[in-house]
Structure 1
Amino acid sequence: DFANQKLGAVVTTAALAAGVDFPASQVLFESLVMGNKRLTANEFSQMLGRAGRPAYHDQGKVYLLPEVGRSYGDETEESQAMELLASEVEPVKVTYSEDSQLEQFLADICAGRANTFSQLIKDYENDEFPLELEEAFSILLDYHLVNEKDNIISATKYGRAVSVSFLSYGEADFIRQNMLKMDPLDIALELEPFDNAYLSNRITTQIGRILKINMSTRLFADSTLDILSSSSAISKLEPHLRERVMKLQMDFYTCKCKERPFCGCFQRELSRRIVKKRLNRRDPVEISRKLMRDYEIHAYAGDIFSWLDSLIRMLEAVRKIANAYRNKKAVQQSNQLIRQIEN
């Protein structure tokens, strides 16, 4: 509603303001604290950065509204406001994982920030990494993300597709190796399954009482999967609940995997059915109600919406990698799926 100008303003807490991400022409600071702590220079910078957005506004405006006479400890709110206005962003110490280290190196190479290995060493000589620089660079070469010729490093088309998609090299390699064998949707579901699903309180309460345990409501918890795959507790449920759980078993516990029910097939099949309902033009609210009505599975509409958005990002990644390898069929299939899910 705010984006459509039906609302003139959005009021948030300081914590939420740090995560708001929609085009606003101006930001007003009614308070300069977050909870019982003063805003830091970095928090203040992040929040004021919400004011104005290219293609929407010519400039962004920020207003601070300190209250005369109000103080926090020995400092007045006015002096705090002046300090924040004069402050600069504080250095941030980044803790890298192996994947984020490789992602950072690849991004630097794609952006032209580093085109030799010696330049990479110079840029990161004072940083701590889980992998030695030589080992990290070897991984980029081994996975065909970069090329090196005459000591000059350049990103491959595949490497650029991976970098702009913010994928780990493992995820990207899974797409690369399977895009000729698997449908783009199956690839995306393998890498981005829906996981915010829960059993209804009615079922978990009854099963917990029968087995004399505190049963997890998380649908894909190992303990929940184990209980749902057996019949001892299910047979003692009330008839209408037992019928829905049995329907869940028949619809989702159909694989022949040795690791069943811990193989992930249940999660992928539920994810596939959510997508299928979306392709049939069901909105997240309708999908949520359908899951509860048929299976006593509780999935928030907001979680379904967010997951569909993440799935689209993964399909876009599949499309970019397929395009790098000139796989027109996978590109077309990905485009069609993205349009159908979005519309």
Structure 2
Amino acid sequence: MEIGFEKGDYQAVITTAALGAGVDFPASQVIFFDLAMGKDWLTAAEFVQYCGRAGRLGKHDRGKVILLIIPGNKFHSGQTETEDEVAIKLLSGKIEPVEIPVDFEKIEEQILANISTLNECEIEDIENMLLSSKIANLDTKTIVTNLKKDNFVKTKEKEHVIITELGLATSVSFLTPRKAKTVIKKLKTNEDPLIIAISIEPFDAVYLSSKVHEELVRSFRFQVSSKLFSGSVLDLMIRKGSTRRLPNWIFNVFAKWAQTFFTCNCPERPYCEHGILNFSKYIVDLRVAGNNPSQISNIIARNFELQVYPGDIFHWLDSLVHHIEGVTRIAKVLQLAETYIKLVELKRKIERPTRGLKNVQKTTNTTHTKQKR
């Protein structure tokens, strides 16, 4: 394609985010069909990166950038700015200086793990461990203070740190303190324990069947991602007028996805988390009903024209069991007896499901006891 375009065999090339990732051929101009990437507007850095593909030294006198903007346009109700407002901002905006971010969430997890290993220690011991891990220049005392505030550790004599039951439950469950705080908040508001565990790591390895994918590419004449929860597929599900190009059978497939998985009333739907949570819960429902990963894969393919690999299902269910164990430990520390019992039973059902039950064909529409309205 690159050679053909450079020779003039093709007048134009339609591309996706690959344009900014390094498509390496000269073009006299770049045309933006819209300024959204998935559910988000382009950033100034992304916009400048894409614009840089217009014009090439030694090939063109100048590069042209054209924006096909619809004034007042929004792609979903969760967007606060219109497309023309974003265009003005991008054209006049400046790229923020590049900074290498420090992953404080991982550092907090590492510090908590160090304290958990020793049971109790001095702050100086923690600093030495971080130095040996080539992590330095951090305000360890502030991090320990934050961990203490959230009851993951307690201190004695200022710099003597002791792990708490909650801190130990978090560390042995391989949860970051931030994720543990989210779990605690949801447990205290009586959210569905299964959804709490799923939220830690939802199942996202969901692919369109080859039949659906080929039809989308043929109908829209551009490359569409094969992943269900990708921005390009979700865009097609909601973009006005897009379904007019589709045959009835694929329109019905879209409708079935929407009615089964994308059932919330969020302004960001289908880009919100509820679709992937519903899908993940559907897998669990099938497992609890006695289906093995291969059977689950076949049911999903037959009902929804979606492809999920048995190996991915197996590994995800295995991880989910570990996450359920982590939530169970935290529920025990919080003395939530009823939730604790539910989680223990849920783990048993996933590991040793009841045999002989009918396959689950429908999942419940509600995955959150409290969804955004």
Kindly provide the amino acid, as one letter, of the partner of residue 276 in structure 1: D
Query: Residue 164 of structure 1 aligns with which residue?
Result: 172
Give 1:106-145 correspondences, 5 Å limit.
106-112=112-118, 115-125=121-131, 127-129=134-136, 131-145=138-152
Q: 1:206 aligns with which of 177, 201, 215?
A: 215
Partners of 1:210 and 1:260 in 2: CA distance = 24
Partners of 1:157 and 1:210 in 2: CA distance = 57
Query: Residue 300 of structure 1 aligns with which residue?
Result: 309
Deviation at 1:238, TM superposition (A): 3.8
Deviation at 1:271, TM superposition (A): 0.8
Give 1:146-165 correspondences, 5 Å limit.
146-151=153-158, 152-165=160-173
Deviation at 1:129, TM superposition (A): 4.0
Q: 1:96 and 1:278, CA in 2 relative to 1: closer, same or farther beyond 3 A?
A: same
Deviation at 1:113, TM superposition (A): 6.6
- Structure 1, unpaired ranges of 5+: 1-94
Q: Give the match's secondary structure for 1:147.
A: strand
Q: Deviations along 1:194-223, whole A, 9 cap, x unmatched?
A: 100011121122112211110000110111
Query: Residue 272 of structure 1 aligns with which residue?
Result: 281
Q: 1:109 and 1:164, CA in 2 relative to 1: closer, same or farther beyond 3 A?
A: same
Deviation at 1:312, TM superposition (A): 0.7
Scaled by the length of structure 1, the TM-score of the pair is 0.68
Partners of 1:307 and 1:140 in 2: CA distance = 30
Q: 1:124 and 1:243, CA in 2 relative to 1: closer, same or farther beyond 3 A?
A: closer
Q: 1:338 and 1:319, CA in 2 relative to 1: closer, same or farther beyond 3 A?
A: same
Deviation at 1:174, TM superposition (A): 0.8
Which stretch has the larger CA shift, 143-152 or 126-135?
126-135
Give 1:61-100 correspondences, 5 Å limit.
97-100=103-106
Scaled by the length of structure 2, the TM-score of the pair is 0.63
Kindly provide the amino acid, as one letter, of the partner of residue 330 in structure 2: I
- Structure 2, unpaired ranges of 5+: 1-100, 353-373
Q: Give the match's secondary structure for 2:121.
A: coil
Q: 1:206 and 1:123, CA in 2 relative to 1: closer, same or farther beyond 3 A?
A: closer
1:332 aligns with 2:341: yes
Using the aligned pairs only, state the percent identity.
30
Q: Deviations along 1:221-262, whole A, 9 cap, x unmatched?
A: 111111123474445434444333322222223211011111
Partners of 2:314 and 2:119 in 1: CA distance = 37
Query: Residue 68 of structure 1 aligns with which residue?
Result: none
Partners of 1:131 and 1:172 in 2: CA distance = 22
Query: Residue 329 of structure 2 aligns with which residue?
Result: 320
Q: Give the match's secondary structure for 2:162.
A: strand
Deviation at 1:177, TM superposition (A): 1.3
Deviation at 1:273, TM superposition (A): 0.9
Q: 2:186 aligns with which of 173, 178, 186?
A: 178
Deviation at 1:96, TM superposition (A): 8.0
Q: Is the 8 A contact 2:209 2:306 kept in 1?
A: yes
Aligned length: 249
Query: Residue 226 of structure 1 aligns with which residue?
Result: 235
Q: Is the 8 A contact 2:119 2:163 kept in 1?
A: no
Q: Give the match's secondary structure for 1:257.
A: coil
Q: Give the match's secondary structure for 1:290.
A: helix
Deviation at 1:114, TM superposition (A): 5.3
Q: 1:183 and 1:246, CA in 2 relative to 1: closer, same or farther beyond 3 A?
A: closer
Kindly provide the amino acid, as one letter, of the partner of residue 289 in structure 1: N
Q: Is the 8 A contact 1:108 1:114 kept in 2?
A: no
Kindly provide the amino acid, as one letter, of the partner of residue 229 in structure 2: F
Q: Deviations along 1:165-195, whole A, 9 cap, x unmatched?
A: 0101111001111113212101012222110
Query: Residue 28 of structure 1 aligns with which residue?
Result: none
Deviation at 1:128, TM superposition (A): 2.5
Q: Which has the higher contact order (CA 8 A, sep 6+)?
A: 2
Q: Is the 8 A contact 1:98 1:131 kept in 2?
A: no
Deviation at 1:135, TM superposition (A): 2.7
Partners of 1:329 and 1:129 in 2: CA distance = 43
C-alpha RMSD of matched pairs (Å): 2.1
Kindly provide the amino acid, as one letter, of the partner of residue 107 in structure 2: Q
Which stretch has the larger CA shift, 267-276 or 204-213?
204-213
Q: Give the match's secondary structure for 1:285.
A: helix
Deviation at 1:325, TM superposition (A): 1.6
Q: 1:312 and 1:150, CA in 2 relative to 1: closer, same or farther beyond 3 A?
A: same
Q: Is the 8 A contact 2:120 2:163 kept in 1?
A: no
Partners of 1:208 and 1:186 in 2: CA distance = 34
